[in-house]
Amino acid sequence: MRQIKPQFQFWNEKINVVSRQDIDNIYEHHVLHSLSIAKFIDFLPGTKVLDLGTGGGFPGIPLAILFPEVQFHLIDSIAKKVQVAESIARDLGLRNVTVEQIRVEDIKEKYDFVVTRAVADMMILYDWTINIIKRGGSFNDFPNGLIMLKGGFLDLEIAPFKEFLYKFPITEWFKEQWFVEKYLLYLPLD
């Protein structure tokens, strides 16, 4: 994971992908945050994961390093962010990553899981992903679904999904102060 920082610093100087003050906290705020998904689920080989709104490659690139036999498709609608994620994946030699500039509404393929970091309101994410998550035949420990990393006060946003949603404080896995009031949300859609 240490090889991510120099690559990201290089691109962040050219294209402001994360705030310049945040670049010193890249491991905690971005890499470790992304890896909280791996604390929740151990993706099995052959799993197909869509990283929706990948930005500079989070959470997809750290997860792709950790799970080399899982296919990750990183998408974003912003060309410069796609360029960053594509370059970093290529420079790290990640053969299990594809990167594409596309809007989620235009995705035709099906995935076992969609992962995302604070991209949109949960109802919007649900509408975007309901038809691209495979139904039936999940071979992972959890049914196929939507995995979201979000922070702050979420009660109103998650209210429509309360019966079906699983909410985990990231402080269950990582004790750093930055993770207080940050959550992993899992909505099974299988």
Tens-digit pLDDT profile for residues 67-79: 999 999 999 999 9
Is residue 16 scored above 60 in pLDDT?
no
Contacts for 31 with CB less than 8 Å, ≥ 6 apart:
1, 4, 58, 62
Is residue 6 scored above 60 in pLDDT?
no
Is residue 28 scored above 80 in pLDDT?
no
Q: What is the pLDDT of residue 136?
A: 84
- Rounded Cα distance, 102 and 121, in Å: 19
Task: Of 66, 103, 67, give the one whose Cα is nearest residue 82.
Answer: 103
State how beta strands 182-188 and 166-169 pair: antiparallel
Residue type, 107: I
Residue type, 43: F
| Fold category of 4-188 in CATH | Rossmann fold (3.40.50)
The domain spans of the chain are 4-188
Q: Any idea which of 5-14, 20-29, 83-92, 108-117 has the lowest mean pLDDT?
A: 5-14
Cα 163 from chain centre:
23
Is residue 8 scored above 70 in pLDDT?
no
Per the prediction, the chain carries an average pLDDT of 89
Is residue 11 scored above 50 in pLDDT?
no
Q: Any idea which of 6-10, 84-88, 92-96, 183-187 has the lowest mean pLDDT?
A: 6-10
Name residue 98's beta-bridge partners: 73
- Rounded Cα distance, 43 and 56, in Å: 22
pTM value is: 0.89
- Rounded Cα distance, 159 and 32, in Å: 28
- Rounded Cα distance, 11 and 75, in Å: 18
The average pLDDT across 86-97 equals 93
Q: Any idea which of 62-76, 100-114, 125-139 has the lowest mean pLDDT?
A: 125-139
The Cβ of residue 10 has, within 10 Å, a number of other Cβ atoms equal to 14
Q: What is the pLDDT of residue 189?
A: 92
The average pLDDT across 21-43 equals 83
Is residue 24 scored above 90 in pLDDT?
no
Cβ proximity of 47 and 112 under 8 Å? yes
